Structure 1
Amino acid sequence: MVLMIEVCKLCEELASMSSRSSMVALVSRFIRGLEGRDVEIAVRFIVGELFPPWEPEIGLGVMGIVDSVIKVFSSSRPEFFKEFKATGDVGLAAMRIAERAKGRHMGLLDQRDLTIEEVYDAFKSIAEASGEGSRRRKLRLFSSLLFRAKSPLEVKYLVKLALGERRHGFGEGLMEEAIAEAFNVPHELVRRVNMLISDIGLTARIARSGGAEELKRQGIILFHPVKPMLAEKADSVLTALREMGGKAAFEVKVDGARVQIHKSNGQVRVFSRRATDVTLSLPDVVELVRSKVKAREVVLEGEVVALTREGRPAPFQVLMRRFRRQRGVTKALSEVPLRLYLFDILHLNGKTLIDMPYLERRRVLEEVVGKDMVIDTIVTGRYEEANAFYEEALRAGHEGLMAKSLDSPYTPGVRGKRWLKVKPLFNTLDLVVVAAEYGHGYRASMLSDLYLAAYNPETGEFEVVSKCFTGLTDEELNWMTRRLKEIAIREEGRVVYVEPKIVVEVAFDEVQKSPHYKSGLALRFPRVVRVRDDKAPWEADTIQTLAEIYEKQRGRGGQGG
């Protein structure tokens, strides 16, 4: 039995630490003595998660959480928001409100200490509440949980868990290291399993119960999405051919949303690249797979593309009208027809296929689904043939090509040069919004100036490389402002700092040196092209990518400074 207060104290200690190795050592000691369900729940809570990403969210909303705190601790909205303004943190504001209540409300309904299992079960009940009156039931359940807290510190972390906040800098990457250290298993095995099943809690439980041998045996679990394999960029077809050793498979790169489809007998579920379940939004894709794919068990990867009336690819923003839509799905089916292009197979009838070479997986894919459902591909070592295929793809309205190494295994969650994106020379990067500043004039109420960051895998942090205030329409900025306020961490003057959750595609003229940013690099003339709601923050471009672009600019005589 693990008490909730123990996890809260651990997270507080993590928040005060800066050494990655010390943080890993602290967490590994904590989880080493845990077993079964306790280790699974504790690991999730420490990284700021309630459930795996494909499970339903609790659906309380920020104001629902705030109002529950106000009700339980006999406070008021003005009092709460005074604390929030002072701290810039909803969880910390809730803790201060609870501290004022002292013994009047803390844990009066039940003298037993809260366990993490009880907290998990309560949040599970909140997430599962549905139908008429479900919001009232959700709020009542959350209020009951707050009432059971014996410590203001527990209130702080109950609120943070409900919000999905991660403030102490201990994410999945560090947790993988802690699991490896705690249970004396290789780090690469822990990472492989977490990438395969997208569940850090279950990964810890497997490592705890079966050690390295069970981790080695672990394959794909149906309806647990696999983290997607990611591609580097190539500036031309010729560069891609050289990187691939003179011969490669070239697939058409469509401007769609990546999906992973799991089928077991008649059940089909569709997941986004962020591991979110989007099955209800895509009934046409579900029916197509159910009727056309005869395999008993299969995991497929592909892209869905919105089509115009003429059958050409529609802009990505049109596709997003279908993605994650929960209401009006039937109407959207006719307004935004989709086409599914499949390009990989990861699992078939109980066997995990990711270690199979690309060409062999491709052969199996065509046998299972038929060539009509598979994206157009050529295998060649001839530049002229590959370049003609590239130009044909562009004329058809597609983005370009994907070049893939013929002997490449599928490496979940890894970005590398076994896969390369070949697109026209139009500089874009995928960056993460980490803060935003209120605009001026008629945009004074909008968070219109975005602070954009690239990922630094060496530190595990997002480092700012640009401040951008162009590219989004007023309608998009209103949406962005609402979304940013939902994930706000703190406010300092006109700047709102947020959880690194929103990915945007950014065009720019060049990368230049800059003393203003920790990374030492900045984008010249950045403008937002579109919001990449389908991408996860960990898929953002890295500081190393920017450094490579900078060096290439210098090599071709660009100013770069």
Structure 2
Amino acid sequence: MFLALAFDLISVESGRIVITDILCNMLRTVIATTPEDLLPTLYLASNEIAPAHEGVKLGIGKGSSIIKAISEAFGRTEAQVVQQNTELGDLGLVADTLRQIANESGKGCKDKKKDLMKSLLVATTDCEPLYLTRLLQENLRLGFSRQTVLAALGQAAVYNEEHSKPPRNTKNPLDEAAKIVKEVFSVFPVYDIIVSALLTSGVWNLPMTCTFTPGIPVRPMLAKATTSVDLILKKFRDTVFTCEYKYDGERALIHYMEDGTFEIFSRHAERNTGKYPDVALVLSRLKKPSVKSFILDCEVVAFYREKNKLLPLQTLSTRAHKNVNVSNIKVDVCIFAFDVLYLNGQLLIQENLNIRRERLYESFEEDPGYFQFATALTSSDNGEIQEFLNASVDIGCEGLMIKTLYSDATYEPAKRSNNWLKLKKDYMDSSIGDSVDLVPIAAFHGRFFGAFLLACYDVDKEEFQSICNIGTGFSDVDLQELSSSLCSKVIATPKQYYRVDDGLNPDVWFEPTEVWEVKAADLTISPVHRAAIGIVDPDKGISLRFPRLVRVRKDKKPEEATSSHQIAEMYQAQKLNQAKGDDH
């Protein structure tokens, strides 16, 4: 009930600072009164039940089984529940409404053990069924992300700190503690151990008590987009940098432990070990005898060995996702390694790339078609880099990765760093430099839905900001499929964390559930759309001109959509590019 009441307070707020304060006070209270409840409270507030890499899912589906439990718990037919869900667009609100009906009529469910969901719902009071049902649906719909929960945990720890005072010269202990918890979670995403360490040793010691560990996934470092070799030379004019082929595969962080076991994680910290048993066999064979443990950052690429040919990501996606038997593999892969983060018990992320690359090269043997180091070039010559780019595209790569080599060249987990750039051949003629990943939040009626309102994500404000309408370039089949997919996501009113101009009046609103990859001609300042408002213009946002859908990104969550800061950076890069063109 305490948790549900805190959620209820948050439900009417849209400001990130206020929401963080409510979560902080909630966690402060738990730490002070029942610290043993801190771990389950964090999991519930984050709408999770276990670390992502453990792959633990509720496995109850999104609707039908929950509807059945609600109908039995509150003495209603499934048809009545479905009808009210259609009207309200929120099963949590349905549960709440049905609870009020049950209280008014004096009826309740007696058979509390028929199934787990029913017994949970029967035991709820007041606003509890609202949030319990949403937790079962794995969507709290409160407009805050895990990052806010982590910040609130850090702040709560400062208020409850009994172990030590903040380090000297700490100007703002609340902000610093929030930063520490976020950074620790990025390299050690396990609430169970973080909570234990925080309660016993304090928040200021957290970086020492919860460290980078083989077998625990770390979010990989990411790159920012650029549109030309000239811009790369301008960006890194005083810095030595290196270029690598950008392979069209799946990012893989490969962990090898001292007990001889392997774990392979995706860029989203999901365990892919069962998907790539052949990768483990290859690395067992090609690591040098002196290597006892490691964490490699690699790209796993579909590979046709008979013709020594790289195959596209679409081919790799046809491979089974788990419990793969080596003898049944039909899509072979080659591992292209480009970084080592940990080696023989030594953490390397604070070393510059030249050192990490040297350790990588000296620790493994190459076997073409099975395991290779990413093809690299260190040069500041425009012509050489252009030739290198063309060569990468010719063999089936997407383009180049450009990285600082000797200075400002540490590995920054989970960050989209200024020290890594990506140059894709496909986007060199586009002034925005890259495709963008956006979230459909509303639609306008047509034959199906005629046009969709898309939004980017503001990480700091934790809100979805409108950036464009997209309604051309769809076939009838595309429109029907997209409309069918989103019909079940319709909600009665826009979320409090949607930033949309009052002049835009969509016919329907959606839950933020899907991510669409979109290309566009360029970016422009907009008096209507709200993307990156206040960053490049105090009162106006940025919009996309002539957007077109590339694909639906099933591998991304809405909060992983292109950020408003990235949109602003793309706009600034476009202006530089246009200025360069004017000079010529």
Shorter-chain TM-score: what band? Answer: 0.7 to 0.9
What corresponds to 2:523 in structure 1? 511
1:255 aligns with 2:267: no
1:461 aligns with 2:463: yes
Structure 2 residue corresponding to 1:158, chosen from 132, 139, 146: 132
**Matched-pair contact (CA < 8 Å) for 1:303–1:341:** yes
CA deviation vs aligned residue, 1:463-498 (integer Å, no higher than 9, x gap): 121222456777776765565466665578853412
Cα displacement (A) at 1:399: 0.7
CA deviation vs aligned residue, 1:448-471 (integer Å, no higher than 9, x gap): 744322222331222121222456
1:197 aligns with 2:188: yes
Structure 1 residue corresponding to 2:508, chosen from 495, 512, 525: 495
* 1:425-504 pair list within 5 angstroms: 425-427=428-430, 428-437=434-443, 440-441=446-447, 444=448, 449-469=451-471, 484=486, 495-500=508-513, 502-504=514-516
**Matched-pair contact (CA < 8 Å) for 1:68–1:142:** yes
What corresponds to 2:215 in structure 1? 223
Give TM-score, length-normalised by structure 2: 0.80
CA deviation vs aligned residue, 1:279-330 (integer Å, no higher than 9, x gap): 223332333334434643322221122235744333333322226x348877
1:188 aligns with 2:176: no
What corresponds to 1:276 in structure 2? 270
Cα distance 1:280–1:190, how it changes in 2: closer, same or farther (>3 A)?
Answer: same
Question: Which amino acid is 1:48 matched to?
Answer: N
**Matched-pair contact (CA < 8 Å) for 2:242–2:377:** yes
Q: Write the distance in 2 (CA, Å) between the matches of 1:439 and 1:280.
A: 44
What corresponds to 2:20 in structure 1? 24
What corresponds to 2:59 in structure 1? 59
What corresponds to 1:352 in structure 2? 347
Q: Write the distance in 2 (CA, Å) between the matches of 1:240 and 1:524.
A: 25
Q: Write the distance in 2 (CA, Å) between the matches of 1:282 and 1:504.
A: 27
CA deviation vs aligned residue, 1:373-428 (integer Å, no higher than 9, x gap): 32111223333333322221111111111011113111112112110001221443
Cα displacement (A) at 1:25: 2.0
Cα displacement (A) at 1:162: 1.8
CA deviation vs aligned residue, 1:69-121 (integer Å, no higher than 9, x gap): 223323223211222123211211122223323364368749xxxxxxxxxxx
Q: Write the distance in 2 (CA, Å) between the matches of 1:146 and 1:285.
A: 45
What corresponds to 1:317 in structure 2? 314
Cα displacement (A) at 1:242: 3.2
Cα distance 1:351–1:168, how it changes in 2: closer, same or farther (>3 A)?
Answer: same
Q: Write the distance in 2 (CA, Å) between the matches of 1:486 and 1:330.
A: 39
Structure 2 residue corresponding to 1:365, chosen from 349, 360, 369: 360
**Matched-pair contact (CA < 8 Å) for 1:37–1:205:** no
Give TM-score, length-normalised by structure 1: 0.83
* 1:402-413 pair list within 5 angstroms: 402-406=401-405, 407=407, 408-413=409-414
Flag the structure with larger Rg: 2
Structure 2 gap segments, 5+ residues each: 159-172, 495-505, 532-540
**Matched-pair contact (CA < 8 Å) for 2:302–2:332:** yes
Q: Write the distance in 1 (CA, Å) between the matches of 2:334 and 2:484.
A: 31
Q: Write the distance in 1 (CA, Å) between the matches of 2:276 and 2:481.
A: 23
SS of equivalent to 1:380: coil
Cα displacement (A) at 1:526: 1.0
Percent of pairs with identical residues: 27
What corresponds to 2:96 in structure 1? 95
The 10-residue stretch of structure 1 (50-59 or 410-419) with the greater mean CA deviation from structure 2: 50-59
Cα displacement (A) at 1:551: 4.2
SS of equivalent to 1:170: coil
**Matched-pair contact (CA < 8 Å) for 1:256–1:305:** yes
What corresponds to 1:421 in structure 2? 422
Cα distance 1:484–1:223, how it changes in 2: closer, same or farther (>3 A)?
Answer: farther
Q: Write the distance in 1 (CA, Å) between the matches of 2:325 and 2:439.
A: 30
Q: How many corresponding residue pairs?
A: 519
What corresponds to 1:120 in structure 2? none
**Matched-pair contact (CA < 8 Å) for 2:437–2:518:** yes
What corresponds to 1:289 in structure 2? 283
SS of equivalent to 2:435: strand
Q: RMSD of the TM alignment (CA)?
A: 3.1
Question: Which amino acid is 1:24 matched to?
Answer: T
Q: Write the distance in 2 (CA, Å) between the matches of 1:296 and 1:37.
A: 37
Cα displacement (A) at 1:364: 1.8
Cα distance 1:267–1:258, how it changes in 2: closer, same or farther (>3 A)?
Answer: same
